[in-house]
Structure 1
Amino acid sequence: MAAAAEPTRRRWIRLSPMLVDTLLGYLVAMAVSAAVLTSPLAVGSASWPAYVFALGFGVVLLWRRRHPVPVLLVTFLGICVYYTLDYPPIGLALPMAAALFSVAEAGRVRIGVVVSLVLVGLAVYFQVAEGRAAGELLGYEVPPVVALMGASLALGDGTRSRRLLQASQRERERQTRLEQQHRAEQLRAEERLVLARDLHDTLGHALAVVSLQSAVATESLPERIPAAQQAVGEIRSVSRQAMAELRDTVTRLRSLDSTDRTAVGLDGLPTLVELARGSGLQATLRGDEIEVSDEVGLTVYRIVQEALTNVIRHADATAVGIELRSRGDRLIVTIADDGRGVTSAAELVAGNGIRGMRERAESCDGQLSVAGSGPEGGVTVCAVLPSRQADQGRP
Structure 2
Amino acid sequence: MTRVRPVVDGVIAGVVLAVLLLATLGREPTGDDRPLDALGYGLIAVIAVATFFRRRWPRTVMVACTATIFGYYMLGFPSVGLELPLAAPVYTVAATGRWKLATVWAFGVSAFAYVSRVLLGQDPLLLMGLQVPTTLAVFCGAIALGDAVRTRRELRAEQERTLAAVRREAEQSTAQRLAAERVHLARDLHDVLGHTVSVVSLHASVAEEALLAGEPEPALAATRAIHEASGAAMRDLRGTVQVLRGDTPESLDPVGGVESIEGLVDRARKAGIDVTYTLEVELSAVPATAGMTAYRVVQEALTNVLRHADAHHAWVRVTSEPGALLVRVDDDGSGPRGGSGTGLRGMAERVELVGGSVRSGARDQAPGFRVWARIPT
The TM-score with structure 2 as length reference comes to 0.53
Secondary structure at the counterpart of residue 36 of structure 2: helix
The structure 1 residue matched to 2:62, chosen from 68, 72, 83, is 72
What are the equivalent positions in structure 2 for 1:136-175 lying under 5 Å apart?
136-175=126-165
In the superposition, relative to structure 1, how do residues 62 and 222 fare at CA in structure 2: closer, same or farther (>3 Å)?
closer
Q: Distance in 2 between matches of 1:184 and 1:213?
A: 43
Report the CA distance between 1:134 and its aligned residue: 3.8
Q: Does 1:86 align with 2:76?
A: yes
Give the secondary structure class of the aligned counterpart of 2:159.
Answer: helix
Among candidates 16, 20, 28, match of residue 32 of structure 1: 20
CA distance in 2, matches of 1:41, 1:120: 23
* Equivalent position of 1:127 in the other structure: 117
Is the partner of 1:152 in helix, strand or coil? helix
- Provide the C-alpha distance between the structure 2 equivalents of 1:47 and 1:224, rounded to a whole number of angstroms: 126
Paired letter, 1:38: G
1:154-177 CA distances to partner (integer Å, 9 max, x unpaired)? Answer: 212222222222222121111111
Query: 2: distance between equivalents of 1:120 and 1:70?
Result: 18
Structure 1 regions of 5+ residues with no counterpart? 1-10, 240-395
1:133 Cα offset (Å)? 4.6
**Structure 2: how far apart are the matches of 1:223 and 1:130?**
131
Pick from 91, 104, 107 the counterpart of residue 101 of structure 1: 91
Question: 1:188 corresponds to which residue?
Answer: 178
Return 5+ residue gaps in structure 2 as ranges: 230-377
- CA distance, structure 2, for counterparts of residue 22 and residue 188 of structure 1: 53
Q: Within 5 Å, give how 1:1-395 maps onto structure 2.
A: 14-41=2-29, 46-48=35-37, 49-218=39-208, 223-224=213-214
- Aligned residues of 1:101 and 1:156 also touching (Cα < 8 A): yes
Contact map agreement 2:93 2:146 (CA 8 A) in 1: yes
Say whether the 8 Å CA contact 1:25–1:62 is kept in structure 2.
yes
Between the aligned partners of 2:30 and 2:124, the Cα distance in structure 1 is 25
Question: What one-letter code is carried by the residue in structure 2 that aligns with 1:170?
Answer: E
* Cα offsets for 1:220-240 (capped at 9, x unmatched): 5572369x98xx89x99xx9x
Q: CA RMSD in A?
A: 3.3
Q: Residues of 2 paired with 1:95 and 1:198: CA distance?
A: 76
Provide the C-alpha distance between the structure 1 equivalents of 2:21 and 2:202, rounded to a whole number of angstroms: 103
Identity of aligned residues (%): 32
| 2: CA distance, partners of 1:56 / 1:191 | 68
1:216 Cα deviation from its structure 2 partner: 4.0
Question: How far apart, in 2, do the equivalents of 1:86 and 1:71 lie?
Answer: 23
The one-character-per-residue Cα deviations of 1:167-226 (angstroms, maximum 9, x if unpaired) are 221211111111111111111112112212221232222222222333444555572369
Structure 2 partner of 1:375:
none
Task: Report the residue type matching 1:19 in the other structure.
Answer: V
TM-score, normalised with respect to structure 1:
0.51
**AA aligned opposite 1:152:** A
Q: CA deviation at 1:95?
A: 0.7
1:78 and 1:190 mapped to 2: Cα distance?
69
The count of corresponding residues between Structure 1 and Structure 2 is 225
